[in-house]
Amino acid sequence: MKKRIEQLVHENIRQMQPYVPGLQPQGSGWIKLNTNELPYPPPPAVGAAISAEMERLARYPNPTSALLREELARIHGVEVGNVIIGNGSDDLLNLLARAFGGEDRITSETFPSYSLYPVVTAIAGGAIESIPFGGDFSLPLEDLLARPSDLLFLTCPNAPTGVRFPMEDLRLLAEGVEGLLVIDEAYVEFAQASALPLLQEFENVVLTRTFSKAYGLAGLRVGYAMAASPVIDVLDRIRDSYNVNRLSQAGALAALASQPVYDDYVRQIQEIRQKVHDFLVTSKWDIYPSEANFLFAEPVSAAGERGPEIASTLFEWLKERKILVRYFPKHPLTASRLRISIGSSSEMERFMEEITKWQKGA
């Protein structure tokens, strides 16, 4: 007798909650401050490199993304064997969970953090242990070190707070954790420092990076990881054979060759971030000093009220005005706050104007 689909699917897959991406609204006129994308277009060289690949689409791409690997190794001063390219960094987080986490392994994260970590852990047949931040969102170092972990995911600079953890704390964590410490550096280009030096010191440190944020190529889906070669070898064995398509490899390589353009973009985002931060401080919002391309802040109403109701009302109010920010209502640590991606100068001027109106009780 034929089995039903529910009987055929693995129990962990049947039970897991899938990842919920931020809204990608249809239609025009939106100010999109909800998924931490770069508000600027790619330099023409990126488009030209992608166009040049079009006539070669009948051929499979380079299976190891060799040129991109070599270039990233050169840029970061590591060996080619220390780098792997993924279909976005999500691809690599998934591979890490499959190879080192999941069933019979202890996988941990700090909480709140990137909500994909529990998903990739569940797909791999495990359940993630979430170690909550304290009220001030500082690193719960003692709690993290007090329990064993085979695979620990940490976002730095952190999402959703934007705070970068001190290098000394990261070093203590790398030293103390039994298993792999994955430092997700999706936002590192907007920050003052990277954990890259730890790669030379520790075989158990993995850094994941992406072209989706500071390189403004979220639509191309390219990420990379850097780690000791035994870790990279394992990931290489289990990835899809052609996990990064031809257009993406070419586009990302061209982006690296246009580095000064991106340095300028990042400088602009940092300046706008400071301006919006200062505006929100003046407006009495509670806010963290972000080193990423977003701010995580607690709004305050005209009457001086704060809390989940205020945050959710403002979220909807902005949405009605076609300004989309991100709201995480499910946990007390996040429910009173909004995460606001840093858009272009004109987008953020408009955002600040609307906030001023709202705070005047509009």
Positions that interact with ligand PMP (CB under 6 A): 88-90, 114, 155, 159, 184, 186, 210, 212, 218, 223
DSSP tag of 213: S
Give me Rg for the CA atoms of the chain: 21
Q: How far is the CB of 17 from ligand PMP (least distance, A)?
A: 17
CA distances from 174 to 129, 162, 206, 303 (A): 18, 21, 10, 46
Q: How far is the CB of 126 from ligand PMP (least distance, A)?
A: 19
Q: How far is the CB of 161 from ligand PMP (least distance, A)?
A: 11
Q: How many CA atoms lie within 13 A of 145 on its CB side?
A: 12
Contact yes or no for 137/163 (Cβ under 8 A):
yes
Using alpha carbons only, what angle is made at residue 139 by residues 134 and 143, rounded to the nearest 5 degrees?
75
Nearer to ligand PMP, 216 or 358 (CB): 216
CA distances from 99 to 75, 102, 232, 272 (A): 27, 8, 11, 40
Nearer to ligand PMP, 190 or 358 (CB): 190
Nearer to ligand PMP, 82 or 212 (CB): 212
Distinct helix (H) and strand (E) counts, the chain? 14, 12
Per DSSP, the three-state class of 326 is strand
Nearer to ligand PMP, 184 or 347 (CB): 184
Nearer to ligand PMP, 242 or 279 (CB): 242
Q: How far is the CB of 232 from ligand PMP (least distance, A)?
A: 17
Encode 280-322 in three state secondary structure: HHHCCCEECCCCCCEEEEECCCCCCCCCHHHHHHHHHHHHHCC
Contacts 24+ apart (CB under 8 A), 15-24: 15/122, 16/119, 16/122, 16/123, 17/118, 17/119, 17/122, 18/119, 19/115, 19/116, 19/119, 20/115, 22/326, 23/324
Contact yes or no for 96/231 (Cβ under 8 A):
no
Q: How far is the CB of 313 from ligand PMP (least distance, A)?
A: 25
State the Cα–Cα distance between residues 129 and 328, nearest whole angstrom: 19
Cis peptide before 157 (omega within 30 of 0): yes
Q: How far is the CB of 88 from ligand PMP (least distance, A)?
A: 3
Q: How far is the CB of 159 from ligand PMP (least distance, A)?
A: 4
Q: How far is the CB of 89 from ligand PMP (least distance, A)?
A: 4
Nearer to ligand PMP, 42 or 223 (CB): 223
Nearer to ligand PMP, 82 or 89 (CB): 89
Q: How far is the CB of 12 from ligand PMP (least distance, A)?
A: 22
Phi-psi region of 139 (alpha: psi -120 to 50; beta: other; left: phi over 0): beta
Nearer to ligand PMP, 117 or 358 (CB): 117
Nearer to ligand PMP, 19 or 30 (CB): 19
